[in-house]
Amino acid sequence: MDFVELCEQTAQKFLQLQSRQKELENISTVIFNALSNNNKLLIFGNGGSAADAQHMAAELVGRFLKERKAISAIALTTDTSIITSIANDYSFDKVFERQIDALGKRGDIAFGISTSGNSKNVYLAIKKANEIGLTTIALLGKDGGIIKDIAKISFIVDSNYTPTIQELHIFIIHNICKIIEDLWTK
């Protein structure tokens, strides 16, 4: 796929996302309500999705566009000592599941990001979060993979091209952050 085709595909998918604004508002409201009740948002993913998790946490803990109270959001992708010890002692599949088990409590939000929808460590973390009473949200690509079947809320970017999925995931994350921030500053 050349650059122009990539841009055209991304633009088409972007237009499709605009028609799904109500879904983004619902996701944002679910997160806002949990955060308003002194719960936290635990965000995780691999590779580019790990970067997106960190980006989302930064926008919420710091600020997106408005001055407001700091929001309790944690990217589970940032503590290399935890990640490498879990990967070494258990397996890489457990790096997020163990953190959800340690940090998550009923009422928190587990927000998993996977461009394939099949990342085993994201799947296991969502599964554990469901078991202990977290609300689970998944931001996925392709057909949503195995994760769409266990997350309470799934938002899928219907594309098989990873760069397009990643570009739209950050657009979605920025939308969610804006909606949460607008609710927070009402």
Which segments are annotated as binding site for substrate?
46-48, 59, 88-89, 114-116, 119, 166
67 close to 94: Cβ distance less than 8 angstroms: no
Residue 162 in tokens: 């990873």
Tell me, what DSSP letter sits at residue 40? -
**Beta-carbon count within 10 A of 36 CB:** 12
CA distances from residue 63 to 21, 39, 44, 133, 150 in whole angstroms, order as listed:
22, 18, 19, 28, 31
For residues 132 and 39, give the distance between their C-alpha atoms in angstroms, rounded to a whole number.
Answer: 14
Query: Per the annotation, where are the binding residues for Zn(2+)?
Result: 55, 59, 166, 174
Structure tokens at 27: 């996701």
114 in Cβ contact with 147 (< 8 Å): yes
Q: Any residues with CB less than 8 A from the CB of 71 and at least 6 apart, and which?
A: 35, 41, 60, 61, 180, 184
Close Cβ partners of 7 (under 8 Å, ≥ 6 residues apart): none
Q: Are 120 and 96 in contact (CB under 8 A)?
A: no
Residues belonging to the binding site are: 46-48, 55, 59, 88-89, 114-116, 119, 166, 174
